[in-house]
Homo-oligomer: A and B are copies of this chain.
Amino acid sequence: MKIGELSKRTGVSIRSLRYYEEQNLLVPSRHDNGYRNYSPLAVEQVRTIQFYLSLGLSTEQIAGFLHCVIKNKEAFCQEVLPVYRQKLEEINGQIRLLQHIQSNLEERIQSIMHEQQAHKERDGSYVVTG
């Protein structure tokens, strides 16, 4: 099938499909006229690539084990586990950082609201509640 059809079937843009080829994730054969010729299996392979991308893996990381995953069960690709573990560490670090920022922001918000409240009460303004 040609690139347009694969794009429609998977929802992945033509631009991205060409990029996957450039990154050696999905290299189709070519028609005599130079058009890309994707096998029907490509649909599933694109979905696989999208799944790994959604885990935050880079195309380079994916390229490191995709050839194996396509042929075998994921569990028997030695390359996969360390990549997963490294990514998990990374994700955990990012979560910690975001949670740190999160509590900082919550603290600032609380602090502002308390100060505003105190200000109103000092001024004797009406406090509208409920």
Contact = CB atoms under 8 A, between A and B. Distances in A.
Tell me how many chains of this kind the complex includes.
2
A55 B104 contact: yes
A87 interface: yes
Contacts of A95: 95, 98-99, 102
Given A94-B98, A95-B98, A87 B105 contact: yes
A111 B75 CA distance: 8
Interface of A: 54-56, 73-76, 80-81, 84-85, 87-88, 91-92, 94-95, 98-99, 101-102, 104-106, 108-109, 111-113, 115-116, 119
23 contacts: A55-B108, A56-B101, A73-B115, A74-B108, A75-B111, A75-B112, A75-B119, A76-B119, A80-B112, A81-B109, A81-B112, A81-B113, A87-B105, A88-B102, A88-B106, A88-B109, A91-B98, A91-B101, A91-B102, A91-B105, A95-B95, A95-B98, A95-B102
